[in-house]
């Protein structure tokens, strides 16, 4: 049986030889994200499987084509989880796609982002070399942190063939509380609570409702519930709600208007933009369903000290770039990094920025 | 001296011997006030090494700028004149990262001491790179907040150095390393361009340059400002001290705690050599007959802590702890930790010199590595005491020696090299938190293959095409690895110990 990573490597070699740009793709659950994918599809799903999992090491290593759902099921069996709660956006989302997209879910503000949990990768670069960066241990500062650099790079720096992720125990107890407040009050409270030792693991505000999830040891969750008050949500309803936020199946996300993702400092005041907003991450993430002009949305994000991503939009929104423009110095560094890892530009050309 | 653009970056060590010191002095005098440029031998002397005193080199000059405009001008001048630049914080690094370059400028950030802003609502602090790690937590303390990564050197080391090394501390298992606690780094490239990496939101557009710059050992840019996250101080912390009559049992107990779904706020281990050494020094009250002790910390609300301590006790009891003590007061908790924190100075009292290594292995390999180290002590005729961040598998073997005894340092290096190479073989790494610096440059050739080393050099060149920032550190040249491979016989025997090793 041929090693699945060598098969991928051969495909990259062949693409290099024929100068064919590659569109790296798992199940396509995140096809919508980033600039329009181009190139001939390299399907990573043949390279699947959990390679190594030792609960006591808090590390799981999986090949890129492993279904994220399968990986999470393996962890759940041992009472563990991916604490960044990455969204799947489809039943067959893969681990490689999750790391390449670098998107994190509701627990992000409390637990960290996907990149925070990346410990190592096996990367196939644009010279078709298979390289190992990082490893399977918690602390490792040998060499530049390429594993985390490629997280969120949308496959433009190389093919993530295998990844090692730090995992955490599932919280012993969870509870969700609901508060009826204005947007300004919600932001004020979230920032206030953020500065206190409370086990808040997620928050979501929409239309006068602020949902707060507590996770942790039984005693901590009970104490926080008493302190914060609010209305308790039944566990099943709460689970459905947070899943809806994570997977964007919540009714908020329905409708044809473009969906913007505004990542701003948590203390940013309510953003006065047309359309509707759902606020996560203690105030640091603001989803906007709006037909407002891109310039207006981006200006608001920049003025608040953050940036705006045109997260989902039906075709025909015009020539609006998906991501905020980088300043000239940073863009030059991006180009040279791309050159360093993918000199022929064969991986996901233009998926993040033109020329990358 | 023009870029060597015909040769692949990092293929061979560059020759800087033709750097023009006189021209450099003239340039720097036009940028800096007289007191901020050190040129005399006795003024340069204090900078000849960092915390790893075994390796020393005199810099050509030392510059002590006090603002970013000067840093920009200095870097531009060095770029123009082809002069190497080594940034320096407090010089507490343990891998020779801030060791000067013979033909280079040592750029001290010591004057960048300002805490620009502590924002308790946004829970962040904006600081200059020369601010000491502990000073940040002190400034945040009135708001019930602190900066989580707490290296044992925190009273002295700077945040600029922490960013460069991705430093850790005893609470990293639960609260993360430097990389997990940064929001933004502002720096200057060798071209004198300002780079803003990250922001005060939770992510930034583009590649994750914040992760790349963290731990990059001053090779990519000079940091001039940092925004760190502040986190709420836990209401209560309690430390559990567990004694074991067998090192392997203690090592396995660490894995058992994690397997039980507990993430302690700190989980540290010391072997008997270490407990005995520190006990004489700080009287922490450690059980001296134990072959190893674990310090296991729980933090949170009082109820939560009580619950977690009970769970920890149950697990450690099953793992064979012969004695367990729970701190009953903050004073007692600090006393439990005082021994761990005093391990280095205590080693310094046991022996004229000590050398600290920093490999990381999977937790389940801790016991095996400790046994192997005990064998190596016999082989090299040197004592080694062990303290480590057990929860993370990050070992700090302290090899005791006397630098004045001819050949001892060479034996220490061979001993250390074996430990590091063994760490790699056991699925770990040569450095968990101290960095590669100058010290572990050869072992990089063991951990990585040529393909990765070349990629590292290309990444470096994306920021610093002429290789002027901290040359000779962090990433070995391909040439060096080839040499090392030739003289390195597997099994850890150096073929010609009498020859100077580069
Ligand atoms: C007793 C003792 C205990 C220690 N305990 C720990 C520990 O628990 N955990 C741990 O991780 N480390 C520990 N260390 C190691 C050391 O303290 C850390 O590596 C620390 O981060 C170094 O900070 P510094 O300011 O002293 O940096 P320096 O030693 O001055 O420099 C370290 C590196 O950073 C670079 N650098 C410094 N400032 C800048 C800047 N502004 N821009 C770009 N590059 C820069 C230098 O070029 C060098 O490569 C310990 C050291 C000692 C002596």
Q: What's the number of CA atoms in the CB half-sphere (13 Å) around residue B111?
A: 15
Contact A329 B189 (CB under 8 A): yes
What is the Rg, in whole angstroms, of the alpha carbon atoms belonging to chain B? 23
pLDDT confidence tier of residue B195, bands split at 50, 70 and 90: very high
Residue nearest to atom 28 of ligand 1 (CA): B91
Residues A164, A136 contacting (CB under 8 angstroms): yes
DSSP A289-345: E----HHHHHHHHHHTTSEEEEEE--TTS-S--SSPPPPHHHHHHHHHHHHHH-TT-
Give the rounded percent of residues in chain B with a pLDDT score beyond 90: 85
> Percent of chain A at pLDDT above 70?
99
Structure tokens, B327: 């701190």
Contact B259 A152 (CB under 8 A): no
Q: Whose CA is nearest to atom 11 of ligand 1?
A: B167
Site to substitute for ligand 1 among B93, B94, B170, B358, most atoms within 8 A of C-beta: B93
DSSP E strands, chain A: 22-25, 40-43, 50-54, 59-63, 80-81, 118-124, 130-134, 159-166, 168-169, 173-180, 200-206, 209-216, 231-233, 259-263, 276-280, 285-289, 307-312
Compute the distance from residue B151 Cα to the ligand 1 centre, in Å: 9
- For residue A316, the model assigns a pLDDT of 59
Task: Please check the confidence at residue B5 and state whether its pLDDT lies above 80.
Answer: no
* Whether the predicted pLDDT of A130 surpasses 60: yes
pLDDT attached to residue B294: 97
Q: How far is the CA of B266 from the centre of ligand 1 (A)?
A: 21
In this prediction, residue B349 has a pLDDT band, given cuts at 50, 70 and 90, of confident
Phi, psi of A284 (to 5 degrees): -85, -10
pLDDT at residue B7 is higher than 80? no
Q: B-chain residues within 8 Å CB-CB of A336?
A: 461-463
What does residue A49 show for φ and ψ, rounded to 5 degrees? 125, 145
Distance A189 CA to ligand 1 centre (A): 37
Q: Three-state SS for B403?
A: coil
Please tell me the distance between residue A295's alpha carbon and the centre of ligand 1 in angstroms.
43
Domain boundaries, chain A: 4-169+336-341, 173-312
Residue B281's pLDDT is what?
84
Instruction: Please indicate whether residue A319 or residue B358 has the higher confidence score (pLDDT).
Output: B358
Per CB-CB distance under 8 Å, the chain A contacts of B235 are: 197
Residue of higher predicted confidence among A318 and A293: A293
Sheet strands (E) in B316-410: 323-326, 353-356, 384-389, 394-401
Of B479, B484, B486, the residue nearest B10 (C-alpha):
B479
Of B234, B304, B449, the CB nearest to A219: B304
Look at ligand 1, atom 50, and give the residue with the nearest C-alpha. Answer: B153
Residue with tokens 């292995």: B361
Give, using CA atoms, the residue closest to atom 5 of ligand 1: B152
Q: pLDDT tens digit string along B400-442?
A: 999 999 999 999 999 999 999 999 999 999 999 999 999 999 9
Fold of A4-169+336-341: 3.30.465
Segment A86-96 shows an average pLDDT of 98
pLDDT, position B484: 85
Q: Which residues of B touch A57 (CB under 8 A)?
A: 255, 258, 362-364
ipTM metric:
0.97
Q: How close, in Å, is residue A157 to chain B by CA atoms?
A: 9
Instruction: Provide CB contacts within 8 A for B502, sequence distance 6+.
Output: B442, B480, B483
pLDDT for residue A185:
98
Of B71 and A315, which is predicted with more confidence? B71
Going by alpha carbons, the residue nearest to atom 27 of ligand 1 is: B161
Residue B4 has pLDDT above 50, yes or no: no
A122 inside 8 A of chain B by CB: no
Average per-residue pLDDT for chain A:
96
Q: Which of A345, A286, A356 is nearest to A321 (CA)?
A: A356
Least confident range of B81-90, B122-131, B295-304: B295-304
Which chain B residues contact residue A135 at CB under 8 A?
427-429
Question: pLDDT-based confidence at A78, cuts 50/70/90?
Answer: very high
Helix (H, G, I), strand (E, B) or coil at B223: strand
For residue B491, pLDDT over 50 is answered with no
Cβ distance of A144 and B199 shorter than 8 Å: no
Among B160, B438, B441, B468, name the best residue to mutate to test ligand 1's pocket (greatest count of ligand atoms within 8 A of Cβ): B160
Do residues B158 and B131 make contact, with C-beta atoms less than 8 angstroms apart? yes
**What 3-state class would DSSP assign to B157?**
coil
> CA of A128: how far to CAs of A15, A135, A147, B216, in Å?
9, 20, 17, 25
- Tally A–B CB contacts below 8 A: 261
Cα–Cα dist B355/B52, whole Å: 8
The DSSP letter of residue B132 is B
Of A109, A145, A285, the CB nearest to B212: A145
Q: Which of ligand 1's atoms lies nearest the C-alpha of B109?
A: 41
Nearest CA to ligand 1 atom 53: B92
Compute chain A's Rg from CA coordinates: 21
Please give the average per-residue pLDDT across A267-273, as a whole number. 98
B205 to A136: CB separation less than 8 angstroms, yes or no: no
- Are the CB atoms for A345 and A126 separated by under 8 Å? yes
B158 C-alpha vs ligand 1 centroid, how far in Å?
7
Confidence of residue B487 (pLDDT cuts 50, 70, 90): low
Instruction: Let me know: does B326 contact B240? Beta carbons within 8 Å.
Output: yes
Is the predicted pLDDT of residue B495 greater than 50, yes or no? no
Quick check: A239 contacting B, CB < 8 Å? no
pLDDT, one tens digit per residue, over B224-272 is 999 999 999 999 999 999 999 999 899 999 989 998 989 999 999 999 9
Q: Residue B1's pLDDT is what?
A: 42
Binding pocket residue ranges, ligand 1, CB within 6 Å: B 50-51, 86-94, 97-98, 109, 129, 151-153, 157-158, 160-162, 164-165, 167-169, 217-218, 222-223, 344, 433-434, 470
Q: Which of residues 10-49 of A touch B (CB under 8 A)?
A: none
The pLDDT of B351-357, averaged and rounded, is 91
Any CB–CB contact under 8 A between A235 and chain B? no
Q: What is the dihedral of CA B439, B441, B444, B450, to 10 degrees?
A: 180
Chain B hits for A320, Cβ within 8 Å: none
pLDDT at A353 (0 to 100): 97
CA–centroid distance, B76 to ligand 1, in Å, is 25
Distance (angstroms) between ligand 1 centre and the Cα of B91 equals 6
Residue of A nearest to B122 (CA): A267
Query: Which of B75, B94, B437 to mutate for ligand 1's pocket (most ligand atoms within 8 Å of CB)?
Result: B94
Quote the ligand 1 centre to B165 CA distance (angstroms). Answer: 6
User: pLDDT (tens digit, 9 = 90+) per residue, B209-220?
Assistant: 999 999 999 999
> From the CA of B140, how many Å to the nearest CA of chain A?
11
Residue with the two structure tokens 């400790």: B370
Nearest CA-CA distance, residue B428 and chain A, Å: 6
Is any Cβ of chain B less than 8 angstroms from the Cβ of A320? no
Residue A354 sits at the chain B interface (C-beta within 8 Å):
no
> Mapping DSSP to helix (H, G, I), strand (E, B) and coil, where does residue B271 land?
strand
Place of tokens 């808040």: A200
- Of B164, B269, B182, the C-alpha closest to B227 is B182
Q: What percent of chain B has pLDDT over 70?
A: 96
Instruction: Give this prediction's pTM.
Output: 0.96
pLDDT at residue A233, as a whole number = 97
Residue B164 has pLDDT above 80, yes or no: yes
Tabulate helix, strand, coil % of chain B (nearest 5).
40, 20, 40
Q: Distance between CA B229 and CA B222 in Å, rounded? A: 20
B268 forms bridges with which residues in the sheet? B295
Most confident stretch, A262-266, B12-16, B418-422: A262-266
For A191, the closest chain B residue by CA position comes to B121
Q: How far A102 CA sits from the closest chain B CA (Å)? A: 10
Residues of B with CB below 8 A from A334's CB?
206-207
Instruction: Read off the pLDDT band of B398 (50, 70, 90).
Output: very high
d(CA B384, CA A39): 57
Q: What spacing in Å lies between the alpha carbon of B348 and ligand 1's midpoint?
A: 19
Whether A223 sits inside 8 A of B179 (CB atoms) is: no
Q: Mean pLDDT, to the nearest integer, of A178-203?
A: 97
Helix (H, G, I), strand (E, B) or coil at B415: helix
pLDDT in tens, B264-277: 999 999 999 999 99
* A199: closest chain B residue by CA: B300
């Amino acid at each position: 049986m041929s090693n699945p990573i060598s098969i991928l490597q051969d495909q990259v070699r062949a693409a290099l030889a024929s100068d064919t740009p590659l569109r790296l793709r798992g199940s396509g659950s995140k096809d919508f994200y980033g600039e329009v994918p181009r190139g001939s599809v390299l399907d990573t799903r043949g390279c699947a499987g959990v390679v190594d999992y030792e609960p006591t090491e808090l590390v799981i290593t999986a090949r890129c084509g492993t279904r994220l759902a399968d990986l999470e099921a393996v962890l759940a069996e041992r009472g563990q989880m991916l604490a960044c709660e990455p969204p799947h956006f489809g039943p067959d989302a893969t681990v490689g796609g999750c790391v390449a997209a670098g998107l994190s879910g509701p627990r992000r503000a409390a637990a960290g982002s996907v990149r925070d949990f990346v410990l190592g990768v096996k990367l196939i670069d644009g010279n078709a070399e298979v390289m190992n960066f990082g490893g399977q241990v918690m602390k490792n500062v040998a060499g530049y942190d390429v594993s985390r650099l490629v997280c969120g790079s949308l496959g433009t720096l190389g093919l993530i063939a295998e990844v090692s992720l730090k995992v955490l125990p599932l919280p012993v107890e969870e509870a969700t509380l609901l508060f009826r407040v204005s947007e300004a009050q919600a932001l004020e409270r979230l920032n206030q609570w953020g500065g206190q030792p409370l086990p808040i693991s997620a928050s979501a505000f929409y239309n006068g409702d602020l949902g707060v999830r507590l996770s942790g040891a039984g005693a901590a969750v009970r104490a926080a519930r008493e302190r914060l008050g609010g209305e308790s949500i039944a566990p099943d309803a709460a689970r459905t709600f947070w899943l809806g936020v994570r997977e964007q199946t919540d009714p908020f996300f329905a409708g044809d208007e473009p969906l913007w993702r505004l990542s701003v400092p948590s203390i940013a005041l309510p953003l006065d933009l047309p359309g509707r907003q759902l606020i996560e991450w203690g105030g640091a993430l603001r989803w906007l369903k709006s037909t407002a002009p891109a310039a207006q949305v981006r200006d608001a994000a920049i003025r608040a000290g953050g940036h705006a991503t045109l997260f989902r939009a039906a075709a025909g929104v015009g020539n609006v770039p998906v991501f905020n423009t980088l300043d000239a110095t940073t863009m030059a560094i991006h180009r040279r990094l791309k050159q360093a890892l993918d000199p022929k530009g064969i991986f996901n050309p233009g998926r993040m920025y033109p020329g990358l | 001296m023009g870029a060597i653009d015909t040769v692949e970056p990092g293929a061979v060590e560059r020759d800087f011997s033709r750097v023009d010191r006189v021209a450099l002095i003239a340039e720097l005098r036009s940028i800096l006030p007289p007191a901020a440029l050190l040129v005399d031998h006795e003024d340069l002397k204090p900078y000849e090494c960092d915390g790893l005193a075994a390796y020393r080199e005199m810099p050509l000059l030392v510059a002590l700028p006090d603002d970013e405009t000067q840093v920009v001008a200095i870097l531009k001048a060095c770029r123009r004149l082809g002069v190497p630049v080594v940034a320096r914080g407090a010089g507490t690094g343990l891998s020779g990262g801030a060791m000067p370059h013979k033909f280079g400028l040592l750029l001290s950030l010591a004057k960048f001491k300002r805490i620009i802003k502590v924002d308790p609502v946004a829970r962040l602090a904006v600081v200059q790179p020369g601010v000491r790690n502990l000073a940040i937590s002190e400034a945040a303390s009135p708001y019930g907040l602190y900066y989580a990564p707490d290296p044992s050197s925190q009273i002295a080391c700077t945040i600029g150095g922490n960013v460069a090394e991705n430093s850790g501390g005893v609470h990293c298992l639960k609260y993360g390393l430097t990389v997990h606690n940064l929001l933004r780094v502002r720096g200057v490239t060798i071209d004198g361009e300002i780079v803003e990496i990250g922001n005060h939101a939770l992510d930034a557009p583009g590649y994750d340059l914040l992760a790349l710059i963290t731990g990059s050992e001053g090779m990519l840019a000079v940091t001039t400002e940092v925004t760190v996250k502040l986190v709420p101080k836990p209401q209560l912390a309690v430390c559990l001290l567990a004694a074991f009559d067998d090192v392997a049992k203690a090592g396995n107990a660490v894995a058992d705690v994690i397997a039980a779904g507990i993430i302690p706020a700190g989980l540290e281990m010391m072997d008997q050599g270490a407990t005995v050494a520190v006990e004489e020094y700080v009287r922490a009250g450690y059980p001296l007959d134990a072959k190893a002790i674990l310090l296991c910390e729980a933090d949170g609300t009082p109820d939560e802590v009580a619950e977690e301590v009970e769970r920890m006790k149950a697990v450690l009891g099953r793992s064979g702890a012969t004695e367990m003590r729970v701190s009953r007061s903050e004073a007692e908790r600090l006393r439990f930790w005082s021994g761990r924190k005093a391990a280095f100075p205590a080693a310094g009292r046991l022996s004229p010199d000590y050398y600290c290594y920093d490999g990381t292995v999977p937790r389940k390999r801790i016991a095996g590595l400790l046994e192997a180290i005990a064998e190596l002590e016999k082989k090299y005729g040197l004592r080694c005491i062990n303290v480590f961040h057990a929860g993370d598998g990050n070992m700090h073997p302290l090899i005791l020696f006397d630098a004045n005894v001819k050949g001892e340092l060479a034996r220490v290096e061979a001993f250390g090299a074996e430990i590091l190479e063994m760490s790699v073989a056991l699925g770990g790494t040569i450095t968990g938190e101290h960095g590669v610096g100058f010290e572990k440059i050869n072992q990089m050739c063991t951990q990585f293959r040529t393909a990765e080393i070349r990629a590292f050099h290309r990444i470096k060149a994306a920021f610093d095409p002429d290789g002027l920032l901290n040359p000779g550190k962090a990433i070995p040249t391909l040439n060096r690895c080839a040499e090392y491979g030739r003289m390195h016989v597997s099994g850890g025997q150096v073929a010609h110990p009498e020859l100077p090793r580069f």
